[in-house]
Amino acid sequence: MLRHIAGRVGQAIVATFGVLTMVFFVMRLSGDPTLLLVPEGATAEQIAALRHQLGFDRPLVVQYGAYLADLARLDLGESLVQRAPVAGIVGERIPYTMALAAGSLVVALGIGIPAGIAMAVWRGSVLERALAAFVLTGQSLPTFWSGILLILLFGVNLGWLPTSGADSLGSLVMPSVALGALTMSTFARMTRIAVLDELSRDYVAAARARGLSLAAAVGRHVLRNAAIPVVTVTALEVGNLLAGAVIVETVFAWPGIGQLAIQSIAARDFLVVQTVVLFVSVVYVGTNLLADLAYAAIDPRIRMGA
Amino acid sequence: MMRALGLLFLGLMLATPAFAQKDGLVVDLPGDVATMDPHLQWDTDSYTVYRNIFDNLVTRDATGKIAPQVATAWRYADDRTIVFDLRTDITFHDGSRLTPEDVVFSVQRIINPAFRSPQLSQFDQIVSAEVTGPAQVTLHTKTPYPALMAQLVKLSIVPKAVVEKLGDQRFNQEVVGSGPFRLRAWQRGVQTVLDANDAYWRGKPAFRSVTFRAVPDASTRIADLRTGRADITRGLSPDDAEALKSERALQLLTVPTERIAYMFVNAQAGPTKDKRVRQAIAMAVDRDTIITALQQGYAKPVNIVLTPANFGYVPDVKGWPHDPAKARALIKEAGAEGATLQFLTSPAYDRRLNEAVQQMLGEVGLKVDIVTMDQPTYLRRRQGTPEEAGSLSQGRWSCACQDADGVIFPLFRSGSIWSKFANPAFDAEVDAARTILDPGKRLEHYRRAFEILRDEVPGIGLFQDVAIYAARRELKWAPTANEAFFVMDMKWQP
């Protein structure tokens, strides 16, 4: 077990290192950051002077070495645009994205799992077809569009919820629904498959033969077994939520790291972009690692390498 | 991080009412403030906020003329030395008096290369500043510099003592100015709240407070306006404006700006090296259609690569007429039929305009290949050698100085990174126009410069950009060509 954990942690570190290396080089190979930082009317001499001041005229490998050395000291640098420490700029936004991810998970789990169970238990019924249509809608609507629809309906026409911002709990509702919709569909489909799979097992037939009601059989036995794949998917979906947050946060003016990424790209604040990408990949690799380890803890066949 | 978490929950508890209070103004901006320090970033969202906190050395009046602000009067001691008389009744928000030392400090700070101000190129013609009297400062320029006053409209005066005490980084967070509003809170990514400065020397502002919110999506900003969550917003597209026309509670405020939409035509490489091909392109591009179809009328026609909001605009230099038949004939004469032109672009530019030009040039026998790349690559190629710069590209240029010098000098003067054009006669005209002070003589130089540009076509003026704001109908305000956003000039209509 320990060897298994060590192996997985090692892989995670390699993956994170690979990502930060790639981000570093891709962001520099696409062009000289100096060109993005100078005003339009700057002369060639002014550009050259700034390039030298910022150290972008050094060989790429030297810059990479300096970046790694800074990173090792947990120094993420100073934003060239905002003139403030990058760690603070990104750190301030993380709680917002965490709140949004949590809200979305509540929506996704709260609707997706009951819907999935209902679709499996009442398979072939009108209810299943209605729920399937609902799930398909959640999966197909692009968030930039569903977000605007939500704003028009609940914000403008009904006036129930604030149209934008982050100043009340109400502000969190619509972004959570918009972002949670896709994940909700994934949960519903996963739960349906897992429950259906378990329902066809002999132990369910045996339980029913003992006189257990369907509800009791599902509640006591099926759900416990069906939970394993759902737990795994939850961890993996965190990555998707972070990716989706880029759009949802922009539409709803929610000040998380997704919105920060877009603003920093527009403002050409490339050190901030680099740090956001690094953060997202660390979260992604981290949740995958957790899922891996949780899976191994639950299912002995995996840690034995069978 | 814990502090930010705490702030978030504090914010959640102190839920503000959805409707703006009448004595406060709520502004929805597309983005957050990048820097509160007025000597750093000059992007529209940043200066929209911080220019309300500071006073400028001079300003522009409603007609666009340079007018006194901190300086009451100015005169040229010689053609490189300008003496400014200053007001003595201005105090900063911390109660200290604004002195000539603060003005000199502000100039020296922004022109200091070590400070790395992104605005350096706007002010680097100033060599030095000195206090020459109890209420007087003198500036020295490298050469006689006619655009100086236009640049000084943007020079915010910061308090020397405060900046030196706090240091640059903290000053950027806790700015202290002398303007009509003072900074109350800057919640990064969310909003900036300013309070009225009741001791302001020009009088009490009409609003007790102003809140600038960062709302990136235009549809969301419009929803905020419709629900009363915001009172005014900027950065709307012509499509947004059309959709808002039927809203009775709202009004559209539009103004032609100093921003020129233009098309670059490479005069030094590729098929467009032939002047006839460039002239044919000028006749093939139907600018009226671009204005009516793409801009829905939210644009003004121009005859040259400059707007009437800039000094140096010459209305009587004729633009090329839209004449596809002549264009086709000229292309045939140049032997360029079927030639392929590379149209370099990035996602920062209006894709529809690229495609419209592609179709218009296709109709006269030129094949246009639209090459889309990321912004850094685009800039590297566009600013690189003539061979890598492609044949065509589009842009929207504003020097924020309302002077031809800030537009056609960087775009077309040989040796400038943007220019793919080398014409000694043109160079001589724009060089002369930037080093003499007499406006009449400058205008003559620009007239000749624009005549050369018309004949040579290293670029085509497409239209004068129009800034579109939407606001509650009760708000009284007239936007200006330089896209300044002074809340001091706004009030509720009785």
Looking up tokens 């400058």 gives B442
Residue B255 DSSP SS3: strand
CB B318 within 8 A of CB B261: no
CB atoms within 10 A of CB B258: 28
Over residues A125-140, the mean pLDDT reads 88
Q: Are strands B24-29 and B209-214 parallel, antiparallel or unpaired?
A: parallel
Residues A186 and A38 in one domain: no
CB A260 within 8 A of CB B32: no
Q: What is the DSSP-derived secondary structure letter of residue B404?
A: G
User: Can you give the pLDDT at residue A217?
Assistant: 77
**Does B15 contact A169 at a Cβ distance shorter than 8 Å?**
yes
Which residues in chain A have Cβ-Cβ distances shorter than 8 Å to B187?
Answer: 255
CB B229 within 8 A of CB B284: no
Q: What is the DSSP-derived secondary structure letter of residue A152?
A: I
CB B421 within 8 A of CB B305: no
Q: Name the pLDDT band for A166 (thresholds 50, 70, 90).
A: confident
CB atoms within 10 A of CB A276: 27
The distance of B329 to chain A (nearest Cα, Å) reads: 37
Closest to A33 (Cα-Cα) out of B380, B345, B31: B380
CB B332 within 8 A of CB B357: no
Q: Per-residue pLDDT tens for B197-215? A: 999 999 999 999 999 999 9
Structure tokens at A226: 């069906």
**Does B215 contact A156 at a Cβ distance shorter than 8 Å?**
no
- Whether A132 maps to a domain, the answer reads yes
Q: Per-residue pLDDT tens for B240-276? A: 999 898 889 999 999 999 999 999 999 999 999 999 9
- Whether A81 maps to a domain, the answer reads no
Angle at A171 between CA B213 and CA A81, to 5 degrees: 35
Residue-number span of the structural domain to which A175 is assigned: 95-255
Tell me how far apart the alpha carbons of residues B66 and B71 are, in angstroms, rounded to a whole number. Answer: 11
Structure tokens at A30: 């696409």
Tell me how far apart the alpha carbons of residues B46 and A187 are, in angstroms, rounded to a whole number. Answer: 43
Residues 16-35 of A with CB under 8 A from B: 30-33, 35
CB atoms within 10 A of CB A137: 12
Say if A162 is an interface residue toward chain B (CB within 8 Å).
Answer: yes
**Which residue blocks in B81-181 are alpha helix, DSSP H?**
100-111, 120-123, 148-152, 160-173
Which residues in chain B have Cβ-Cβ distances shorter than 8 Å to A169?
Answer: 12, 15
Q: What is the DSSP-derived secondary structure letter of residue B232?
A: E
Residues A106 and A62 in one domain: no
Q: Per-residue pLDDT tens for B331-364? A: 999 999 999 999 999 988 999 999 999 999 999 9
User: Can you give the pLDDT at residue B1?
Assistant: 44
Residues A32 and A140 in one domain: no
Residue B473 DSSP SS3: coil
Which residues in chain A have Cβ-Cβ distances shorter than 8 Å to B4?
Answer: 91-95
Tell me how far apart the alpha carbons of residues A273 and A300 are, in angstroms, rounded to a whole number. Answer: 41
User: Can you give the pLDDT at residue A152?
Assistant: 87
Instruction: Kindly indicate whether the ipTM for this predicted assembly is greater than 0.95, answering yes or no.
Output: no
CB B20 within 8 A of CB B231: yes
The residue from A37, A72, A107 where one domain ends is A72
Residues A47 and A161 in one domain: no
Residues 77-96 of A with CB under 8 A from B: 81-84, 89, 91-96
CB atoms within 10 A of CB A142: 10
**Does A262 contact B227 at a Cβ distance shorter than 8 Å?**
no
Structure tokens at A267: 């403002």
pTM of the model: 0.87
**Does A167 contact B224 at a Cβ distance shorter than 8 Å?**
no
- Whether A284 maps to a domain, the answer reads no
**Does A250 contact B216 at a Cβ distance shorter than 8 Å?**
yes
Which residues in chain B have Cβ-Cβ distances shorter than 8 Å to A32?
Answer: 376, 380
Closest to B213 (Cα-Cα) out of A252, A150, A133: A252
**Does A268 contact B41 at a Cβ distance shorter than 8 Å?**
no
Say if A155 is an interface residue toward chain B (CB within 8 Å).
Answer: yes
CATH of the domain at A243: 1.10.3720.10
Structure tokens at B258: 């100093």
Residues A152 and A247 in one domain: yes
Q: Is the dihedral of CA B355, B358, B361, B364 positive or negative?
A: negative
**Does B399 contact A255 at a Cβ distance shorter than 8 Å?**
no
> How far, in Å, are A117, B11, B324 from residue A171 at the CA level?
30, 11, 54
Residues A25 and A173 in one domain: no
Looking up tokens 């996602």 gives B347
Tell me how far apart the alpha carbons of residues B153 and B125 are, in angstroms, rounded to a whole number. Answer: 15
**Does A152 contact B223 at a Cβ distance shorter than 8 Å?**
yes
- Whether A262 maps to a domain, the answer reads no
Which residues in chain B have Cβ-Cβ distances shorter than 8 Å to A50?
Answer: 116
> Closest to A255 (Cβ–Cβ): which among B43, B190, B383?
B190
**Amino acid letter for position A10:** G
Residues 34-73 of B with CB under 8 A from A: 34-35, 37, 40-43
Residues 181-210 of B with CB under 8 A from A: 187-191
- Whether A19 maps to a domain, the answer reads yes
CB B107 within 8 A of CB B194: no
Into how many domains does chain A fold?
A: 2
Q: What is the CA radius of gyration of chain B?
A: 24
Structure tokens at B184: 């109350």
The distance of B250 to chain A (nearest Cα, Å) reads: 14
As a whole number of angstroms, the longest Cα–Cα distance in chain B is 74
- Whether A164 maps to a domain, the answer reads yes
- Whether A248 maps to a domain, the answer reads yes
CB atoms within 10 A of CB A69: 10
Residues 6 or more apart whose Cβ sits within 8 Å of residue B205: B180, B181, B196, B197, B487, B488
Residues 6 or more apart whose Cβ sits within 8 Å of residue B405: B146, B147, B312, B399, B430, B433, B434
Residues A6 and A122 in one domain: no
- If one compares A86 and B17, the residue with the highest pLDDT of the two is A86
Q: What is the DSSP-derived secondary structure letter of residue B318?
A: P
* Mean pLDDT for all residues in chain A: 84
CB atoms within 10 A of CB B200: 19
Residue B393 DSSP SS3: strand
**Does B41 contact A47 at a Cβ distance shorter than 8 Å?**
no
Tell me how far apart the alpha carbons of residues A296 and B99 are, in angstroms, rounded to a whole number. Answer: 71
Residues A106 and A249 in one domain: yes
pLDDT reading at A304 higher than 80: no
Tally of residues, chain B: 494
The angle, 0 to 180 degrees and rounded to 10, between the axes of the packed helices A143-150 and A170-199 is 120
Residues A105 and A238 in one domain: yes
> Closest to B223 (Cβ–Cβ): which among A39, A91, A151?
A151
CB B336 within 8 A of CB B279: no
Per-residue pLDDT of chain B (494 residues; tens, 9 = 90+): 445 445 444 444 444 444 444 789 999 999 999 999 999 988 889 999 999 999 999 999 988 899 999 999 999 999 999 999 999 999 999 999 999 999 999 999 999 988 888 888 889 899 999 999 999 999 999 999 999 999 999 999 999 999 999 999 999 999 999 999 999 999 988 999 999 999 999 999 999 999 999 999 999 999 999 999 999 999 999 999 998 988 899 999 999 999 999 999 999 999 999 999 999 999 999 999 999 999 999 999 999 999 999 999 999 999 999 999 999 999 999 999 999 999 999 988 999 999 999 999 999 999 999 999 888 788 889 988 999 999 999 999 998 889 999 999 999 999 888 999 999 999 999 999 999 999 999 999 999 999 999 999 999 999 999 999 999 999 999 999 989 999 999 999 87
CB B36 within 8 A of CB B52: no
Say if B478 is an interface residue toward chain A (CB within 8 Å).
Answer: no
DSSP B162-190: HHHHHHHHHHHHS---SSSEEEEEEETTT
Say if B5 is an interface residue toward chain A (CB within 8 Å).
Answer: yes
The distance of B7 to chain A (nearest Cα, Å) reads: 9
DSSP B5-43: HHHHHHHHHTPPPSSPPTTEEEEEESS--S-SSTTS---
User: Can you give the pLDDT at residue A242?
Assistant: 83
Residues 374-403 of B with CB under 8 A from A: 374-377, 379-380, 383, 397, 399
DSSP A224-282: HHHHHHHHHHHHHHHHHHHHHHHHHHHHTT--SHHHHHHHHHHTT-HHHHHHHHHHHHH
- Whether A88 maps to a domain, the answer reads no
Tell me how far apart the alpha carbons of residues A276 and A95 are, in angstroms, rounded to a whole number. Answer: 13
Tell me how far apart the alpha carbons of residues B178 and B157 are, in angstroms, rounded to a whole number. Answer: 8
CA trace torsion A14, A19, A25, A26 (10° rounding): 150
Q: Per-residue pLDDT tens for A202-234? A: 888 888 888 877 777 777 777 777 777 777 777
Residues A108 and A215 in one domain: yes
DSSP B55-83: -BSEEE-TTS-EEESSEEEEEEEETTEEE
Q: Per-residue pLDDT tens for A241-267? A: 888 888 899 899 899 999 898 888 877
Tell me how far apart the alpha carbons of residues B119 and A37 are, in angstroms, rounded to a whole number. Answer: 11
pLDDT reading at A305 higher than 70: no
**Does A159 contact B227 at a Cβ distance shorter than 8 Å?**
yes
- If one compares B103 and A34, the residue with the highest pLDDT of the two is B103
φ, ψ of residue B492 in degrees (nearest 5):
-75, 140
Residues A11 and A124 in one domain: no
Residues A109 and A185 in one domain: yes
